[in-house]
Amino acid sequence: MSHLVAPSILAGDFANLRTDIEMLNTSEADWIHVDIMDGVFVPNISFGFLVLEAINKLTSKPLDVHLMIIKPDRYISRFKKAGASNLIVHLEACVHLHRTIQAIKQEGMHAGVALNPHTSVNNLEDIIQDIDQVLIMSVNPGFGGQKFIEHTYRKVEYVRNLILKSDSKALIGVDGGVDSSNALKLIELGADVLVAGSSIFRSDNPIKTIAALKAL
Ligand code: DX5
Ligand code: ZN
């Protein structure tokens, strides 16, 4: 499988979301990454269901919804209704992660697990066979535009090996500070999904930037 590119709409212009989504529709973006922050799990608040629904009405691209919220179980069916295709929860936010994963799948969504930079990838050993995506955070979640943490490379390698030796079809996503300086190495080490916000939306030509990330 060739890798996927998932632009993070957090870096878009929220006064002109329609323009940004229409731009993504004409691009080679595979998914649209949507960051939901609750001000508790992370020190920032982004937006909720209404904005997600509005985005969903403007695109047929799958929405890759990254929940940076505590107790995500409360809202799984609401995120499905709002248009999520993939629902990613944080390992650090789930006491009964296996149950949460099953609930996401029962709603007909792909289930993903995100790991903060300090969280060891060893924690995936007993859940990897049940999930559709691992999202390795390469910045501390909460804000766009941060610097890529180099240690991420080793985590990608570890998860790739874990997937190879287990009965898992999980995709490996990397989220935070992804740009042309690190994307190729991430793919070579086994990343399947590049999530990128600032490097796409702050570039002179986002459509070309997406195409360049796809062409790696
Ligand atoms: C960080 C978010 C990321 C962020 C990526 O909390 O989960 O998805 O939007 O943005 P950049 O690419 O600017 O680091
Ligand atoms: Zn994200």
Within 13 Å of residue 21, how many CA atoms lie on the same side as its CB?
21
35 is catalytic: yes
88-144 pLDDT, tens digit per residue, is 999 999 999 999 999 999 999 999 999 999 999 999 999 999 999 999 999 999 999
The whole-number average pLDDT for the span 183-203 is 98
Residues 155 and 187: beta-carbon distance below 8 Å: no
Q: Give Cα 27 to chain centroid, integer Å.
A: 18
The residue annotated as part of the active site, out of 30, 64, 132, 175, is 175
Answer yes or no: 204 catalytic.
no
Catalytic residue among 35, 64, 132, 192: 35
Ligand 1 pocket test: pick from 113, 146, 200, 213 the residue with the most ligand atoms within 8 Å of its Cβ.
146
Answer whether residue 1 shows pLDDT above 80. no
Nearest to 138 by CA among 155, 123, 125, 157: 155
Closest-lying ligand 1 atom to the alpha carbon of residue 37: 6
70, 93 in Cβ contact below 8 A? yes
pTM of the predicted model as reported, rounded to 2 decimal places: 0.98
Q: Kindly state if the Cβ of 142 falls inside 6 Å of ligand 1.
A: yes
pLDDT at 147: 98
| CATH code that applies to domain 4-214 | 3.20.20.70
CA of 37 to the centre of ligand 2 (A): 9
Q: Are 112 and 90 in contact (CB under 8 A)?
A: no
Q: Which residues contact 81 (CB under 8 A, 6 or more apart)?
A: none
Q: Which residues pair with 68 in a beta bridge?
A: 37
**Dihedral of the CA atoms 140, 106, 194, 150 (nearest 10)?**
30
Question: Cα(76)–Cα(91) distance, rounded to whole angstroms?
Answer: 15
**Whose Cα sits closest to atom 9 in ligand 1?**
144
Strand order in the sheet with 171-175: 4-7, 193-196, 171-175, 133-137, 110-115, 84-90, 63-68, 32-37
- The CB of 61 under 6 Å from ligand 1? The reply is no
So what's the pLDDT on residue 167?
87
pLDDT tens per residue across span 40-79: 999 999 999 999 999 999 999 999 999 999 999 999 999 9
pLDDT in tens, 15-40: 999 999 999 999 999 999 999 999 99
Ligand 1 center to 25 CA (angstroms): 20
CA 144–ligand 2 middle distance (angstroms): 8
